[in-house]
Structure 1
Amino acid sequence: MKTVLVGINAKFIHPNLAIRYLYTYTKDEYDVDFIEFTIKEDVSEIVNKIYEYKPSLVGFSTYIWNIEIIKKVVVKLKELDDNIKILFGGPETSYDIEHWFSILPIDYLITGEGEYPFKALLHALENNLDLKHVPQLSYREKDNVLINKEEYVIDLNTLPSPYRLKRDNHNRQHQIQYIESSRGCPFKCSYCLASLEKRVRYFDRDYVKQEILYLMSQGAKTFKFLDRTFNLRKDNALDIFAFIIKNHREGCVFQFEITGELLDEDIIKYLNDHAPKGLIRFEIGIQSTNDYTNRLVNRIQNFAKLKRNILLIQAGGKIDLHLDLIAGLPKEDFQSFTKTFNDVFSLRPQELQLGFLKMLRGTKLREEAPLYKYKYHETAPYEIIENEDLSKDDVKLIHLAEDILEKYYNSHRFDQTLSYIIDRYYTHNNFQFFLEFGAFYQIRYPNLHHQPADLCIRLWDFIRYKELDENIIISLIKYDYLHKTKIKPKIFYEPIITPEERRRLYNHFITLYPNYNLDNLYRYALSEKLFINPLTYEEGEYYLIKLFLPHDKNCYIIKIS
């Protein structure tokens, strides 16, 4: 019996770890293989490639980001050959079991952790055994759907490594390496599927370390730990941090999801003292700073302590911070969300992700949706449309602000410009900038693609519309644009530096930096006059020189007395 496991990923860089666990746990005893696609691929092509394996059983790893395309693939695959049996697993289909059997021609569904139940299913099918003894399995029997409620909690340290497949090695440096050092979550946030997991269990620490060493030896650069709260146990976190600091290779980055207020100051001090800059990245889900809202979704958060820890991390200058917010939580109206955004944005993290509440199947909050008069999309990812405290128009405005946040803040294309604008003109309500610019952008440039130069022009247009100090802010936009560019770019502005000013500037520059010559500058540099020093915000006449030499992309700010 040929079994094919299918992962349909959001992007190529996101490999599916789940199907690798299933594959390595069963491949020595059963005829199992796996194949991966992305959600951008054509449905018919996916179906044809799966069919080339001549499978008897096809298993799909389901998530909110791929379930809609999986629905289409399953229907076409069954049309092609109704004898192929379909298995679902994964967080998206582990709840509302009858729903999936009622809308799709699936044959089997495994809920929760799948390694042992998957192997038990293969054993039962190959030996014509009764399926009622396969834990966590739901299946069709005549016109009924039978659900085995028995759960099997596997010893994590009996699982073969999913990280050492030779077929993956050629893609290591181009993909994110997803790592588990534990499974489970201790918290009960009512909007999150992790709240339904029973307890936290840990992999052997030495095993985790050896897998990291192996992956680095194969060229892996980017690692993301899937632990729900990596710093739940101080000893575990500190030991792995110390191991990574000691053994990392150049260019590696490790990301961890942590609970910020649980961070021990000893760990923060250790990382600030010993971690190379940029090696470690923390993702912290703040979600809301409204205490009442947090209580309603079973979150316990001490924002004052969390903020203090974040400031300690930032003072060290070693750890990049990715902070998360959720718009649409219960009793968080537009005014409250504005405060939440401003509370968190004031910390100026490297990245601020503004997400929208998703009413995930199986969660307590989805069951409570009528209580708060939620309306949400019926198809995945089940995003909120409105609730009793946040209107459709409110949600739309926040979406517009989120679009600007991604294009202009999280992209880091306009760091100096945005800091100046927000600190000077939007000090008391940072969110207002993103709201106003978002609404402006939607009216002027709806559904238009953008290159970096286009983003500059559109921000310049907004500055004129708001009648802000154009000379100063366009100087900052020019600096951000040229500073971040690695290849000599298309110029979106008419230079104001004159040929004579450029001649004086270059002659002055080579006296300051004798390693350069005039030929370098005239051939490989762009220069411009500015009315502010973009690094200090001191106003006056300054000059920018951006180099585009093959091995020198430096940017200089020069003041000529």
Structure 2
Amino acid sequence: MVKILAVGINARFTHSCLALFYLRREIEANLPGSTVRILQCTINDPVYALFQQLTDEAADYLFFSAAIWNSDLVERLIEDLLQLSAGPMIVVGGPQAAVVGSRFADSPRVSVFSGAIETAGPAFYRDLREKKLAKSYQAPSFQAAGLTVASPYRPGDFSSALRDRAVYYESSRGCPFACTYCLSSVERGLYHKDLLQVREELAAILVHRPKSVRFVDRTFNDVPQRALAIWRMCVELGRETLFHFELAPDRFTEELFAFLETVPPGRFQFEIGLQSTNPETLAAIKREVDLRQAAENVKRLRRLETIHLHLDLILGLPFETAATFSRSVNEALAMEPHYLQMGLLKVLPDTELARQAEAYAYRWSRRPPYPVLATRWLEPEVLRDLYRLGECLESCVNNRFFVSLWRYLVRSGEDLALFFSGLSRLFLEQGYYFKAATQETLCGLLTCHVAGRADYPLCRELLIYDWLRCGHRFLPESLQQSESSFTELRDQVYRTLPGHVAGLFDEQGRNHFIRKHVFYRFQPQTLAVLGYGNTAAMAVLCFTAQREDTVQRHVKTVVLALSD
């Protein structure tokens, strides 16, 4: 009997490693009597504690899934394991298998498996059984093998290996794009599961009521009609589960939008790969995108306010200058996603981009995750400044803190790349790239940054509105002013508010309503910008204790008319 420990080292605890479950199924099917135990750890776990877990198992084989985010740690663990004169044989799979394996080319205990485990041939299982592994195995292409793939999960997984973790699921393999920077372009071809099979597999997963299911399809909506059918299954079968999809921004149909208008808030999360809005860059990386349609679609999705929208840009792509990347940032922010991720380009081994690197004068780290350091179009110091801009966006935009301020700046035509470049310098000067910044801290930095603007009074009130909509019952020091206080305004509300307001309170509940809620008096211009209509005089907004039924769950607000 062969005993195997399958090890996945994830980026965080809530993630899971789909490859391990496929490995378990294939090993048990092809080596009857063998046992496979799945061990999932994180890159933040203490190294010696991980080492102890691996050596305590007394397994015949350790299988590691190596990716760019964990391969350094996998290498270190293998190095330590090889220091012991006796121990298990080690098999490394995953996208970084060949790279990790090359570090141990002289060790008879380390073997590399490249490709999909479903296409492993009889020789691999024979060698496993006889405990005489070759140095490397290259599995045939999944598409070339003409195989089908089924979900590898079994009921017990959801109370053990998948408990409190995201469940990863694929309804297709392959990608319709051939982006030069991506490993998905190395193996061409697409495979789509039969929709009846998808329904059966989703039903088997969702009966366990997981918190989230993340579809790993590289472009989920490459066939819109198929995407719609699966979305309908998700809404029908998974009433308490959040579903995550990776989508192309220009592949939406009217039928898709019609259905999405019916999806309850918080059920779907979309990660949308924009990458760049520079046509020359998109052509160079072989990513065909209708930019006008993409922008229109993302804006339309945002107007639903029921689907969390995550938009991706990549810093360091070919032909991307500081000016074109700043334009990409501005055009992406104008689409108003909930989350804008500016990822730094990784020059991955075996990709077409890696082969073009010399022509593009790329300089990049030779260690995972292979971040770009400079390009023909971006000198190191310029790239660093743009990266800091992205980190500033991460802190300030990718949350629910300042939604109305960003919307105002976008709709007034602000150069937001320039705005955040200035803010990023303030972050750097005050050391906030190296320590956590709370919402209160960010309010202070933003107040300082907008202080000299002609529209400072409006920006300040928008910051106050955003702060209170997050449910706070006080103002941070940076937004306080001496001439008016919550207490004074509450007293005025108590004196002048009618005894009964339909839909809010009756005479018996009036005092409770006033005690429970927060009130603030805003200028007419601010109210108009916020969409409360034009008013001739200042009006009071009531920030209630109820939450909106939207993605960001801000508190509901009500305009109150008070007499002097």
| TM-score normalised to structure 1 length | 0.87
Measured in 2, the distance between the counterparts of 1:81 and 1:490 equals 63
Contact (CA 8 Å) 1:75, 1:105: kept in 2 or not? no
Instruction: Spell out the pairing of 1:279-428 with structure 2 (5 A cutoff).
Output: 279-314=267-302, 319-424=307-412, 427-428=413-414
Instruction: Spell out the pairing of 1:78-477 with structure 2 (5 A cutoff).
Output: 78-94=82-98, 96=99, 99-102=102-105, 107-117=110-120, 121-127=124-130, 139-140=134-135, 148=138, 151=141, 156-157=147-148, 159=150, 161-169=151-159, 174-249=164-239, 251-272=240-261, 274-314=262-302, 319-424=307-412, 427-446=413-432, 447-464=434-451, 466-477=452-463
User: Which has the higher mean CA deviation after the structures are superposed, 520-529 or 106-115?
Assistant: 520-529
Decide whether aligned partners of structure 1 residues 541 and 315 sit closer, same or farther in structure 2, where only a CA change above 3 A counts. closer
Question: Which amino acid in the other structure matches residue 503 of structure 1?
Answer: D
Task: Give the secondary-structure state (helix, strand or coil) at the position aligned to 2:124.
Answer: helix
Task: Give the secondary-structure state (helix, strand or coil) at the position aligned to 1:401.
Answer: helix
Deviations 1:468-513 (Å, cap 9, x if unpaired)? 544332322222122213x757844546326443212134176333
User: Which has the higher mean CA deviation after the structures are superposed, 147-156 or 296-305?
Assistant: 147-156
1:337, CA displacement in angstroms?
Answer: 1.0
Measured in 2, the distance between the counterparts of 1:550 and 1:435 equals 33
Decide whether aligned partners of structure 1 residues 418 and 150 sit closer, same or farther in structure 2, where only a CA change above 3 A counts. closer
1:149, CA displacement in angstroms?
Answer: 7.0
Contact (CA 8 Å) 2:334, 2:410: kept in 1 or not? no
1:559, CA displacement in angstroms?
Answer: 4.4
Measured in 2, the distance between the counterparts of 1:97 and 1:218 equals 36
Identity rate, percent: 25
1:238, CA displacement in angstroms?
Answer: 2.5
Task: Give the secondary-structure state (helix, strand or coil) at the position aligned to 2:385.
Answer: helix
1:190, CA displacement in angstroms?
Answer: 0.6
Contact (CA 8 Å) 1:231, 1:259: kept in 2 or not? yes
Decide whether aligned partners of structure 1 residues 83 and 501 sit closer, same or farther in structure 2, where only a CA change above 3 A counts. closer
User: Which has the higher mean CA deviation after the structures are superposed, 45-54 or 71-80?
Assistant: 71-80
Question: Which amino acid in the other structure matches residue 95 of structure 2?
Answer: P
Task: Give the secondary-structure state (helix, strand or coil) at the position aligned to 2:40.
Answer: strand
1:397, CA displacement in angstroms?
Answer: 1.6
Measured in 2, the distance between the counterparts of 1:497 and 1:399 equals 40
Contact (CA 8 Å) 1:14, 1:176: kept in 2 or not? yes
User: Which has the higher mean CA deviation after the structures are superposed, 287-296 or 469-478?
Assistant: 469-478
1:437, CA displacement in angstroms?
Answer: 0.9
Measured in 2, the distance between the counterparts of 1:81 and 1:100 equals 18
Contact (CA 8 Å) 1:422, 1:433: kept in 2 or not? no
Decide whether aligned partners of structure 1 residues 308 and 58 sit closer, same or farther in structure 2, where only a CA change above 3 A counts. same
Question: Which amino acid in the other structure matches residue 256 of structure 2?
Answer: I
Instruction: Spell out the pairing of 1:514-525 with structure 2 (5 A cutoff).
Output: 514-515=505-506, 517=509, 519-520=511-512, 524-525=516-517
Aligned to 1:134: none
Measured in 1, the distance between the counterparts of 2:279 and 2:46 equals 45
Decide whether aligned partners of structure 1 residues 324 and 78 sit closer, same or farther in structure 2, where only a CA change above 3 A counts. same
Decide whether aligned partners of structure 1 residues 547 and 262 sit closer, same or farther in structure 2, where only a CA change above 3 A counts. closer
Question: Which amino acid in the other structure matches residue 126 of structure 1?
Answer: R
Deviations 1:337-356 (Å, cap 9, x if unpaired)? 11222222211122222111
Measured in 1, the distance between the counterparts of 2:321 and 2:328 equals 10
Measured in 2, the distance between the counterparts of 1:316 and 1:350 equals 12
1:122, CA displacement in angstroms?
Answer: 4.1
Aligned to 1:535: 530
1:5 aligns with 2:6: yes
Aligned to 2:23: 22
Deviations 1:26-77 (Å, cap 9, x if unpaired)? 2362121110111110000001012111112111111111111112111122
Measured in 2, the distance between the counterparts of 1:497 and 1:441 equals 30
1:266, CA displacement in angstroms?
Answer: 3.3
Deviations 1:218-251 (Å, cap 9, x if unpaired)? 12132221111222234422321222233331x4
Aligned to 1:560: 562
Contact (CA 8 Å) 2:242, 2:266: kept in 1 or not? yes
Question: Which amino acid in the other structure matches residue 538 of structure 2?
Answer: E
Contact (CA 8 Å) 2:114, 2:138: kept in 1 or not? no
Measured in 1, the distance between the counterparts of 2:492 and 2:100 equals 75
Measured in 1, the distance between the counterparts of 2:202 and 2:468 equals 38
Task: Give the secondary-structure state (helix, strand or coil) at the position aligned to 1:373.
Answer: coil
Contact (CA 8 Å) 1:497, 1:527: kept in 2 or not? no
Task: Give the secondary-structure state (helix, strand or coil) at the position aligned to 1:237.
Answer: helix
Contact (CA 8 Å) 2:490, 2:514: kept in 1 or not? no
Task: Give the secondary-structure state (helix, strand or coil) at the position aligned to 2:244.
Answer: strand
1:314, CA displacement in angstroms?
Answer: 4.5
Task: Give the secondary-structure state (helix, strand or coil) at the position aligned to 1:101.
Answer: coil
Question: Which amino acid in the other structure matches residue 129 of structure 2?
Answer: E
Question: Which amino acid in the other structure matches residue 505 of structure 2?
Answer: P
Contact (CA 8 Å) 1:110, 1:118: kept in 2 or not? no
Aligned to 1:135: none
Decide whether aligned partners of structure 1 residues 62 and 103 sit closer, same or farther in structure 2, where only a CA change above 3 A counts. farther
Structure 1 residue ranges without an equivalent (≥5): 132-138, 141-145
CA RMSD for the aligned pairs? 3.1
Measured in 2, the distance between the counterparts of 1:104 and 1:323 equals 44
Aligned to 1:143: none
Measured in 2, the distance between the counterparts of 1:170 and 1:87 equals 24
2:58 to 54, 57, 62: 54
Deviations 1:123-180 (Å, cap 9, x if unpaired)? 3222367x5xxxxxxx43xxxxx66575565565464x32334143368673222110
| TM-score normalised to structure 2 length | 0.86
1:445, CA displacement in angstroms?
Answer: 3.3
Contact (CA 8 Å) 1:74, 1:105: kept in 2 or not? no
Measured in 1, the distance between the counterparts of 2:167 and 2:49 equals 27
Question: Which amino acid in the other structure matches residue 382 of structure 2?
Answer: D
Measured in 1, the distance between the counterparts of 2:128 and 2:319 equals 50
User: Which has the higher mean CA deviation after the structures are superposed, 535-544 or 192-201?
Assistant: 535-544
